[in-house]
Chain A
Amino acid sequence: MIRTLVYGLSLLVLPALSQAAGTGRIFVTNEGSDTISVINGKTLEVEQALAIGKRPRGIGLSPDGRELYIAASEDNAIVVVDPGTLKVLRTFPAGSDPETFAVHPNGHIYISNEDDAKATVFDPADGRQIAEIPVGLEPEGVAISPDGSRVIVTSESTNMLHVIRVPEHDIVANILVGARPRAAVFTRDGTIAYATSEISGEVKKVDMRANKVVAVEKIADEKAKPKDVILSVDEKTLYVAAGRADAVMVLDAATLKIKAAIPVGKRVWGLARSRDGSRIYSTDGASNSVSAIDTARNEVIKTIAVGELPWGIVIDD
């Protein structure tokens, strides 16, 4: 009874808190049109398109949600934007061709520098480079364990997950995976990571205590070129952007078996989940759109036209 009451209260209170914390906006980088689409999270209408730099790709929020970071790959820079006023706060150089990055719980940004075979670490407060870690060729995906002790950088042309220790910033394991590893995600307790391989069409489950692959699933659809991967709130479900299969695959996180395929736009790349887990959004690169998916029904509820070649996506909720 009391538990029900507390649960009910928390339902009332939590949305209010999260609204207070974020703008509710969805931000999308459009690599082809050099813009950021700003989407109203309630109406799912595009509010405006920001032009802040060339070839915007990676995008992320600071731990406190007060700053939005965007990798302007062709400007070799990270652009810092206020998610509320949408003003550019500052810009700092971030190595050659910064592509994807992840924000550490301590606020530092871990970037894959695709052309340089390295990962770099920056403090976005002053743009200072904190570390540089040589990794394999064409580093791509970056994932950080929730406790901040481990960072995974995928190298697409060396076919490895490089496991980097923080704060030492040395590599503690190199895990060979299928061809062209793209993205990875940690569970909340940091013991498991899931990773996608684009060319081999695989999703892998990795035991991060042993640094060993413990399960592999090849997605049966041969057009599937798995890219981004995210977990549901309860961590029982994986969502995988399946590239040319033009679908978001829904996988059982325990067995890696496919439970559903949600048709979205063409060549789906990026994924983001709302904090409460009720929605996921995909960037459909070749359709110039974002698909809003209701996770209860596994259905697209709205297709939102954005800029050209939408790439990264983040929700400020």
Chain B
Amino acid sequence: MPEKLKTGLAVLILFAALQNTGFGATEIRLLYIGSPDDASYLGARQGLNEANLQGQFLGQTYILDVRAPGAVPPAEALSGMAAVLATVNADRLPELAATAAGIPVFNLRADDDSLRAACIANLLHVIPSAAMRWDAVAQWQKINPGAQVTASAWHGDFMKYAGRDLNKRYRATSGQAMDEAAWAGWAAVKMTSDTVARLNDTRPAAVLTFLRHELRFDGQKGAEMSFRASGQLRQPLLIIKEGKIAGEAPVRGVADADDLDSLGNSDCPESK
């Protein structure tokens, strides 16, 4: 082969290789399964904006696909996804997780304790469990006997730490106050983008391993959050009385403020 042709061919091959590996942005696909009318979807969109703001500095672009709830999608519909966000009923989650084996599936709605006790490897519960709410209320009632309160992952009036900033951003883009469902949607996307940024890897198995074992997430509630072996996100909760924030759990004076496992902890056998 003449030398000139060889060089030309080499240049062509190199060019093709560069095109394939993409010197442009890396695309990260996320699938939201649920109604786009849910606050959790609006929260996920907020998370997407913020993931893409970070992504512009790292050459990463996030895309959020939507699929209606109902029948569990076939495995083909899940391939290529870095993570799945699910606003579906509790009874559908184990099947969805099984179909999405190896892909992180974020539970944004179901607070059933049985789902945590099931210890499903790729099911990550962003929404607090019923047991966590129960413990938060019980801690509060120890120092406020008879108080009729509930516990929530978020509230649109939350100002402390960086709660003010997130509430302000969300209200500006969605026109509404951020509630627990919206926070969960935001958090699921944000922790995925945190993971991809740090790993520089979009393979779902790598993302799942990092989420479960290495993630230290800033959910704008002043605490470092991580996942329990059960797949439940450790997090502080807000105590709500008559629609207003009355306090935070772990409740100071009853539990250590940093002891997030004082809220509804449950174990999983090592083998799982």
Contacts and interface: CB of A to CB of B under 8 A. Distances in A.
Given A138-B162, A199-B224, A157 B50 contact: yes
Interface string B207-245: 000000000111010111000000000000000000000
A179 B258 contact: no
B165 interface: yes
B57 A160 contact: yes
Interface in B159-207: 162, 165-166, 168-169, 194, 197-198
B53 A174 contact: no
Interface in B32-81: 50, 53-54, 57-58
A201 B165 contact: no
A158 B53 contact: yes
B165 A179 contact: no
B165 A171 contact: no
B223 A199 contact: yes
A199 B50 CA distance: 18
Contact of A159 (B162, B194, B224): B194
A298 interface: no
Given A159-B194, A200-B216, A222 B258 contact: yes
A136 B165 contact: no
A19 B146 CA distance: 62
A171 B258 contact: no
Interface string A176-196: 101110000000000000000
B162 A179 contact: no
B224 to A, nearest CB: 5
Interface in A144-168: 156-160, 162
B218 A179 contact: yes
A171 B198 CA distance: 19
Contacts of B50: 137, 157-158
A296 B112 CA distance: 57
B54 A158 contact: yes
Contacts of B216: 178-179, 199-200
Contacts of A244: 257
Given A157-B218, A199-B223, A180 B162 contact: yes
A115 B168 contact: yes
Which one of B54, B168, B217, B258 has the greatest number of beta carbons of chain A within 10 Å? Answer: B54
B220 A157 contact: yes
Nearest to A223: B258
Nearest to B221: A199
Contacts of A88: none
Contacts of B166: 157
Contacts of A176: 197-198
Nearest to B166: A157
Contacts of B194: 159, 179
Contacts of A199: 216, 218, 222-224
A162 B57 CA distance: 9
Contacts of A178: 216
Nearest to B57: A174
B165 A115 contact: yes
Contacts of A160: 54, 57
B219 to A, nearest CB: 9
A114 interface: yes
A179 B224 CA distance: 8
28 contacts: A114-B165, A115-B165, A136-B53, A136-B54, A137-B50, A137-B53, A137-B54, A137-B169, A156-B162, A157-B50, A157-B162, A157-B165, A157-B166, A157-B220, A158-B53, A158-B57, A159-B194, A160-B54, A162-B57, A180-B162, A199-B216, A199-B222, A199-B224, A200-B224, A201-B224, A222-B258, A225-B222, A244-B257
Interface of B: 50, 53-54, 57-58, 162, 165-166, 168-169, 194, 197-198, 216-218, 220, 222-224, 257-258
Interface of A: 114-115, 117, 136-138, 156-160, 162, 171, 174, 176, 178-180, 199-201, 222-223, 225, 244
Given A137-B50, A157-B220, A222-B258, 16 more contacts: A114-B165, A136-B57, A137-B54, A137-B165, A138-B162, A138-B165, A156-B162, A157-B50, A158-B50, A160-B54, A179-B224, A180-B162, A199-B216, A199-B222, A223-B258, A225-B222
